[in-house]
């Protein structure tokens, strides 16, 4: 499973707004009231992720570091999440054990009270600075140097670990293909500028080449679901939303009045919300 994509789907405010739009326009499959409950669930987690990933005081609202300006709003989100998970059960009545998020919430509240309110050592608290993402980024760097192998041999791990810890060189940042993507320029470790060539790496660690072939080309065929944009309300709204974003950016950048007017039209907006 691609963790980054999963989190984007679960904790994304745009997904929550899309669900509300689909429900409000009575799109087939989204006219149930449970859709609104799902939208509320996603929106709440989006706010929680903004708080737990706060990096500095330059952000707006919940995305800013915890301080006296936004702690009341953050505490309101914390209370809603705690109340939801304490009462959340499966269909057979068993409670859902989301203890990780609840532990993070309690830890953040305690750290804020001890470091900002009582001791006054800090003006604000940036939660991303003590996130476990940095550790996952380090593990990703280990896997990256072994061909993304989740079970490296002792020799492979020794080489990668020594290269990351001992050698001095250019900085190590997480890969864009990793489970966690670095949100700032935090340096994990230092990396030597020297590197093994592909042949040397193969000879050093006895990596065997292998090839994968499919018995039939039909297994790779992707079924195309043809859809006429003019007949699809969701497609029209999606195109209008994307086009509207570009028009907004261009409108603020252009100085020519005629050019600005050319971006607008008199037709009915297919995406009013």
Element holding 47 (H helix, E strand): helix 34-52
Alpha carbon distance 85, 119 (integer Å):
31
Mean pLDDT of 259-266: 77
Q: What is the DSSP letter of 128?
A: G
Averaged pLDDT score across all residues of the chain: 74
**Residue 85 predicted with pLDDT over 70:** yes
Alpha carbon distance 78, 108 (integer Å):
10
From the list 118, 76, 82, the residue with the least C-alpha distance to 99 is 82
- This prediction's pTM: 0.62
Integer-rounded Cα Rg, in Å, for the chain is 25
Mean pLDDT of 253-264: 83
- pLDDT at position 217: 44
Instruction: Identify the bridge partners of residue 192 per DSSP, sorted by sequence position.
Output: 169
Contact of 170 with 148, CB cutoff 8 Å: no
């Amino acid at each position: 499973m691609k963790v980054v994509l999963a989190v984007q789907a679960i904790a994304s405010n745009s997904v929550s707004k899309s669900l509300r739009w689909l429900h409000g326009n009575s799109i087939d499959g989204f006219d149930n009231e449970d859709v609104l409950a799902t939208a509320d669930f996603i929106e709440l987690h989006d706010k929680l992720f903004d708080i737990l990933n706060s990096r500095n005081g330059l952000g707006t609202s919940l995305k800013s570091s915890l301080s006296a300006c936004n702690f009341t709003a953050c505490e309101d989100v914390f209370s809603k999440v705690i109340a939801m998970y304490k009462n959340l059960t499966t269909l057979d009545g068993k409670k859902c054990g989301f203890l990780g998020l609840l532990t993070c919430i309690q830890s953040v509240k305690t750290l804020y009270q001890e470091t900002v309110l009582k001791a006054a050592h800090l003006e604000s608290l940036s939660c991303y600075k003590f996130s476990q993402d940095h550790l996952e980024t380090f593990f990703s760097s280990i896997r990256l140097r072994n061909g993304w192998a989740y079970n490296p041999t002792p020799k492979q791990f020794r080489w990668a670990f020594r290269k990351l810890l001992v050698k001095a060189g250019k900085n190590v940042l997480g890969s864009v293909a990793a489970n966690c993507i670095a949100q700032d320029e935090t340096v994990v470790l230092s990396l030597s500028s020297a590197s093994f060539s592909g042949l040397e790496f193969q000879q050093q660690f006895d990596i065997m080449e292998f090839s994968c072939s499919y018995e039939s080309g039909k297994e790779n065929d992707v079924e195309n679901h043809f859809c006429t944009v003019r007949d699809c309300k969701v497609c029209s709204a999606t195109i209008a939303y994307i086009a509207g974003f570009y028009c907004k950016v261009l409108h603020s950048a252009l100085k020519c009045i005629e050019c600005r007017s050319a971006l607008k039209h008199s037709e009915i907006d297919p995406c009013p919300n």
